[in-house]
Chains A and B, each alone.
Chain A
């Protein structure tokens, strides 16, 4: 079967989940540049976390969870690096060398009995309660995406929930750091 010029051969490779981290100048429009690049070139954004991490240098750290083949991920890295406000781009494959964290706030609503069942589920997971009333509580769920997914699945069965989730954050283990062009730790 013949293939078109648009089906690049790397697509026969395995599609995997990756976390891409970009250090950017915190200026107007920088997030639109990045998200526009993803939508314009047909890349997927599974989750996104952005905040300024260096007030002096005005640098923000953007963490994007996405999926693709190794070739596509490398292409994304090269494309992101071409954006003028981008200092550095790092790719974190999902493996044991990297710490990943996500956070969710979950508000649970229920009567006495379901409330206590749900509370026990939170305690078993070591999650912290942030607010409690006779009809509800808010819990902070912290962990890997799969752990939070699992927790949400279970608590949803018990009653009504309202959920707010962050995107993934990533950092490599050990003393190794990512540095900018001048050798400063990012």
Chain B
């Protein structure tokens, strides 16, 4: 019996086998044997969060910024239910997470025991897969399978629920090599015939656009390199989704900006007018397409996605390529170079008219805003933050709302994995824990959470985590005292009835920072902004920066709901009446 291990030992041995270095978690009754084990081993470090949701988002930030798997460990009942938002967030944005939850002992399951909940039942629709492990001899195998599922195909969260008695029991350890996964085998390599069809369309196109997404980031830095090479060889204009920012350098002239609801005028018009759309690792989300029946009406569409269920889900495409972005881009490059070696030279000529058109759209300068010499414009704040930090290879996280869109518009990302934001689920409270996870994964780097004053209060307790582990994250709050995006929609869609969107009784963020043992800074006018930002960057401790911005600024440009890409509002002077049908949309 000497070669047998306890359940808790098996868990940590399995995690080590998968190269896990950090766990984000919070203890409780049903995970105490696992916490006992944490202190008995040295390979894996535990980061104690202050709320289980924080553990989930921190694991997401860790995963997104490092390309590794994020690990969260929480107890049964409320520990598990508090994790639901983070799991759903990771599912929507395709982030690989392994969440381990404690469960009441097997003999108490189903008795409404203290801190019991049907964890696998509750998390079934918000994970790729989950397991309840009742047999100690299945534990190692299950954890190996969990890593396989989280990281294969389209990445996502998985959950392993372990009853307390199983954590104590002794059983046999199996290595990951001994485990065979029978069913879940996503396709990575695409059919060559599909690649060839795509290349034929590419060489013929006169008005092409590359529309890249988070799939490129998930496929790794080599995929981002391949995307960059592909874009340079073809000389095609490229736009990106919110999740895809950084895969292609944002400061490059071939990049026409983000597309979609708050994307640039040139990106959305290019999407609408193009004759060929090359979707690489994006999913035609409703924030991207606007009105579907008016979406890019005259284009041929190529869709590259590792998830077959993304194909033809929202938009019907002409060439569907199921595979990993890196594999597909490499194959496309090989075919292009092999069969059309003269293409890169001839192509500049071929699409010069298209670039002329795009540059005309660019001249509208859709991101311009009216500068103010007394008040800090929120856009200006992000612009200055970018200018001051751009040489530092900074990592940016965000909360959700106007500040998030301004960050996406004005902060330019030149590398993948530098931008962590909640896109699909739109989770307020994501940014601070995500910044903590990002800082854990990237010690010594500058990590800034561009936040709003409403969002930050949703997980503000994680300040304690940042202070405890000396994680010098910077929280840059664009404080307009409104739930800005709610206020904007109420202005545009609900006749300026600002119902419950103004925040009375906000805390003094400088004092709040100090109360947590962090540093508080405040800027109230544009003249002091640069100096204060530089001060923030220099401080090697967590900082809350209360940046007081103009209160009623709206986020433009904007495709109003129910409208098409070529029906953007560029500023407050545009009045593009929103239809009754549009008002129903989110």
Contact = CB atoms under 8 A, between A and B. Distances in A.
Contacts of B289: 5
Contacts of A8: 292, 313-314
B286 interface: yes
Nearest to B285: A5
Contact of B585 (A5, A37, A83): A5
A53 B421 CA distance: 46
B309 interface: yes
Given A4-B584, A5-B286, A79 B314 contact: no
A71 B309 CA distance: 11
B581 interface: yes
A36 interface: yes
Contacts of A29: 120-121, 124, 132
Contact of A5 (B124, B291, B307): B291
Contact of B309 (A6, A33, A79): A79
B291 A3 contact: yes
Given A3-B292, A5-B289, A8-B292, A78 B183 contact: no
Given A84-B184, A87-B182, A2 B132 contact: no
A137 B23 CA distance: 65
Contact of A84 (B125, B183, B311): B183
A11 B286 CA distance: 17
B292 A5 contact: yes
B129 interface: yes
A32 B291 contact: no
Q: Indicate the member of A36, A82, A85 with the most B CB atoms within 10 Å.
A: A82
Give the size range of A's interface with the partner.
Answer: 20 to 34
B149 interface: yes
B286 A78 contact: no
Contact of B128 (A36, A84, A86): A84
B312 interface: yes
A10 B184 contact: no
Contacts of A83: 129
A72 B311 CA distance: 12
A8 B317 CA distance: 13
Contacts of B293: 2-3, 9
Given A9-B292, A29-B120, A75 B313 contact: yes
B316 interface: yes
A181 interface: yes
B129 A78 contact: no
Contacts of A32: 121, 124
A7 interface: yes
Contacts of B312: 10, 71, 74-75
B442 interface: no
B218 to A, nearest CB: 16
A78 B311 contact: yes
Nearest to B129: A84
Interface in A69-100: 71, 74-75, 78-79, 81-87
B292 A81 contact: no
B184 A78 contact: no
A28 interface: yes
Given A4-B584, A36-B124, A75 B309 contact: yes
A157 B74 CA distance: 60
Contact of B291 (A4, A84, A85): A4
A5 B132 contact: no
Contact of A4 (B185, B308, B581): B581
A8 B132 CA distance: 37
Nearest to B310: A78
A42 interface: no
B183 A4 contact: no
B562 interface: yes
A87 B314 contact: no
A87 B291 contact: no
A174 interface: no
A183 interface: no
B16 interface: no
A40 B120 contact: no
B292 A78 contact: no
A2 B291 contact: yes
Interface in B299-351: 307-309, 311-314, 316
A2 B124 contact: no
Given A5-B585, A6-B286, A87 B579 contact: no
A102 interface: no
A25 B291 CA distance: 40
A6 B286 CA distance: 8
A2 B579 contact: yes
The 4 closest A-B pairs by CB, nearest first: A78-B309, A5-B286, A84-B129, A3-B293
Interface of A: 2-10, 25, 28-29, 32-33, 36-37, 40, 71, 74-75, 78-79, 81-87, 181
30 contacts: A2-B291, A2-B562, A3-B291, A4-B291, A4-B582, A4-B584, A5-B290, A5-B291, A5-B314, A6-B286, A7-B292, A8-B313, A9-B293, A10-B312, A28-B132, A29-B121, A29-B124, A32-B121, A36-B124, A71-B312, A74-B312, A79-B309, A81-B308, A82-B307, A82-B308, A84-B128, A84-B149, A84-B184, A85-B183, A87-B183
